[in-house]
Chains A and B, each alone.
Chain A
Amino acid sequence: DIQMTQSPSSLSASVGDRVTITCRTSQTISIYLNWYQQRPGKAPKLLIYSTSSLQSGVPSRFSGSGSGTDFTLTISSLLPEDFATYYCQQSYITPLTFGGGTKLEIK
C-alpha cells in the first residue's frame, strides 16, 4: 500500500495568513493526488484533484502543486471558514490511501 505522510499534523494560524500543508507519498503517484477539507461533524469535501485542479465551486485561494512523491496544498489568505482538518489522498492505485490529516486551528 502507498503510505501518505502529511505535515504538520496541526497548525495554528490567523485570519489572513498564508498556509501550506505538505503530503509525501511512499512511492511515485504521478499527479494522482487529491485534497479534502473536513469541518467538524461534516463529511469531507473535495477541494483539489489531480494535484492542482480546483474542484467546481472551491474558492481560488486554495491551490495545489507537486508531482511524483511531494505535494502541497496552499491557502493564500485564510478566512474563518477555512479552519478545519485537511486530508490528502492518492488515487493512483487501490487501496486508495489518505494522509493522517492536518488540523488547522485559529491562533
Chain B
Amino acid sequence: QVQLVQSGAEVKKPGASVKVSCQASGYTFTTYGITWVRQAPGQGLEWMGWISADNGNINYAQKFQVRVTMTRDTSTSTAYMELRSLRSDDTAIYYCARNESSGLGYWGQGTLVTVSS
C-alpha cells in the first residue's frame, strides 16, 4: 500500500534551518511528484511547493522562494524539504503529499516544527 512516512518532530531556534524528510513506499517513486503543504496551529493549509520525483523540477510558492529548498533522492525514494532562516511564524505541521492528476491523494503523517527561542 502507498505510504509516505515523514521524519520526526523538530524544535529549532529562530534563524536556524530545518530539513524534513518524506520516504515513499508502495509505488514507483519517480511516477509522481511530491507536494509540501504546511499548517500553522489552528490555521488552514498552505501550499509551499512541488518537486518532480522524476527529474527534480521544482515549483516554489513565491512566499518561500528564497528560504526553501526541495530535493529528492530516487535511490531511497525520499523527498526532502529544507526551510532556512526560521521564524516563530514558521511553527507548523509540515506535510508531504503525493501529487496526482486528481489532487493530493496520499499524505504523510505530518512533521511538527516548533520555532522557539
A44 — which chain B residues lie within 8 A by C-beta? 37, 45, 95, 104, 107
Does B45 contact A46, Cβ atoms closer than 8 Å? no
A91–B105 Cα gap in the complex (Å)? 13
Question: Can you show 16 pairs from A to B with CB atoms below 8 A apart?
Answer: A34-B102, A34-B103, A36-B45, A36-B104, A43-B108, A55-B105, A87-B44, A89-B104, A94-B59, A94-B61, A95-B47, A97-B47, A98-B44, A98-B45, A100-B44, A101-B44
Count of residues in B whose CB is under 8 Å from the partner chain:
20
A49 — which chain B residues lie within 8 A by C-beta? 102-103
CB within 8 Å of A: which B40-62 residues: 44-47, 50, 59, 61-62
**A94-B59, A98-B44 known; A43 and B110 CB under 8 Å?**
yes
A101 — which chain B residues lie within 8 A by C-beta? 44-45
Residue of B whose beta carbon sits closest to that of A38: B45
Residue of B whose beta carbon sits closest to that of A56: B105
Q: Does B91 contact A (CB under 8 A)?
A: no
Contact of B61 among A34, A95, A99 (CB under 8 A): A95
Q: Does A10 contact B (CB under 8 A)?
A: no
A52 to chain B, nearest CB (A): 12
CB within 8 Å of B: which A73-94 residues: 87, 89, 91, 94
Does A89 contact B45, Cβ atoms closer than 8 Å? yes
A100–B45 Cα gap in the complex (Å)? 8
Does B102 contact A55, Cβ atoms closer than 8 Å? yes
Does A43 contact B95, Cβ atoms closer than 8 Å? yes
A67–B62 Cα gap in the complex (Å)? 27
